[in-house]
Structure 1
Amino acid sequence: MENNTIFSPIVFYDNTNTDKSRILSENKGKTGIYQWTHKESGKIYIGSAVDLSSCLSKYYSPLNLKRLDNYISRALLVYTHSAFSLSIIEYIDITGLTKENARKLILSREQFYIDSLVPQYNILKVAGSSLGYNHSDESIALMKKIQKNIDRSGEKNPMFGRTGEKNPFYNRTHTAETIAKMKEINKGKIKSEEIRTKMSVSQKKINNLGENNPMFGKTGDLSPVSKKVYVYSSSSPSILCYEFLSILETAKYFNCSNTTISRYIKNGEVFQKEYILSFYPLI
């Protein structure tokens, strides 16, 4: 399949499994922006690195992918690297720049591509979030302001006019195997409003009146459905990663108990080494 980015890549690797040695050797010591692309669905992930080879090598470690447990890492584990292509969409010259200025330049270029391509695998839409950068409050506020002011309507949307043969998924369908893998990757994702509505209708048909209701006698903080839960990045507490309708929904997403979620909210400890949980918006 051809590369579906709207930008012409500097270097393109069609099979990241067989091209592994080339990817790591050709990008050693180079700084730039990279793009993972799932060849069948066209979904992409945008990232940046001071040393592309060092950064990309981490995507070949099953232990590291399991530890990260984010959308792109789960996709790589389920589909395997042979299902993905890799594009280096920009090399960045940081010669003579201070570490801080180099960081700012890299993040500004990554943010440009995130804004332009709207990558589906990037859960956080702020550049550097996946790399553990600690943005200043000022830079976070600025990037959020920029995000809000971006007009992606009409011709300004990168997918505008990409219908029919111009659409990356034109004349193609998912195989049964791919559909099964997509379901595996999406396990635990927040249910859509449509599904929630259907579940609500089904629940209404069940006799949950009085003592038959599992929530009978549970009010206020005792009710796992009484409070929203806000999940923030521990490295950048101003970045909201997820928002759940209840403790119960949060626990289901992270595959743990309601008690565990409640404990981390109460104690204010870092959850799963990367999140801060709160009943209230932090910003």
Structure 2
Amino acid sequence: YNHSPKWSKLNKYKNGNLYEKLVKRQNANNFKDNTIKFKTPLGLRHNSISTLTNNNTDPDITNLKSEEDYDLEPYKIWNSKILTEFLTEKKLNSVYCYENLHLDSTRKKIQTDTKNLSGIYLILNKVTLDYYIGSAATNRFYARFTNHLIYFRGSKIVKLAVKKYKLNQFAFLILELFPEVVNRTNNKRLLDLEDFYLKSLLPNYNILTEAGSSFGYKHTEISRLKMKANYSQERRNKIGILNKGKTLSKETIEKIKEKAIIRDKPNYSEQALLNMKKNSKSVILYNLDNTVYGEFSSIVEAAKSVGCSEKTIRRALKTEKNFLKRRFIVKYL
């Protein structure tokens, strides 16, 4: 992406200012060519006006000759001054910027624009300029947005900040797009990208210092005391004697039996049964005189043959002598 920091190419630059070499900024005289009108490989148009320049200043869009000269019609809504100054200070060019998050139209736009995309996002508190950085797998940007800022299922710090400063004082930014569909194979690369942003920008809303890991997190002294109180010896003793010596009434026992009898048995398809058989291990049963009682393709079949539970056979396989019901010796084939 021409206008996105190439954090993944960090190893190419071993000397000099980190941001100066990673973020290629354009001169204000070339603003016409560099204003947001590029397309990503997915054909999505850039939605920000945060193009940076070589003299460390933003282009003054109020002094442009005319909108016709620069074809700015699709970009009537500019970033706020606070957001523009923040991007300039951090030397970032975001792929998408969203403000007025309290509006339904903004939320719908986020959902539409970020569909099937993955990458790195930033949540900015425009009052305190504190921010949170995270990563989103394919088609998960909107889920991250709603979890953190709408439903409060994400960062607890972000939740408390939104409740204090209100949602309209926050901005949601897409910093960089991940060029592939995220899966188990390349997920580590996405986490590495997030980890680099965390270590480079040092967001103070992030508790954890490493992406995808709780390493480095320290509980407060109050939290430690609460955890100790919850798992004190006194509490353990109370739990231990809670049902000690108690017996179930005949009526309760009958109800449990009735529920067990009418419980629906799992109905597996033929394909499911075949798949289970493929993953199962074959066992062999010996009589106590070491003669072979039978070979079975699975523990379930062996259990049916000798009239016991499959759990009984699994327990026998874990013992040293592998005795089963005092009549057989069971072993894996």
TM-score (norm 2): 0.40
TM-score (norm 1): 0.46
- Name which structure has the greater RCO, CA cutoff 8 Å, separation 6+: 1
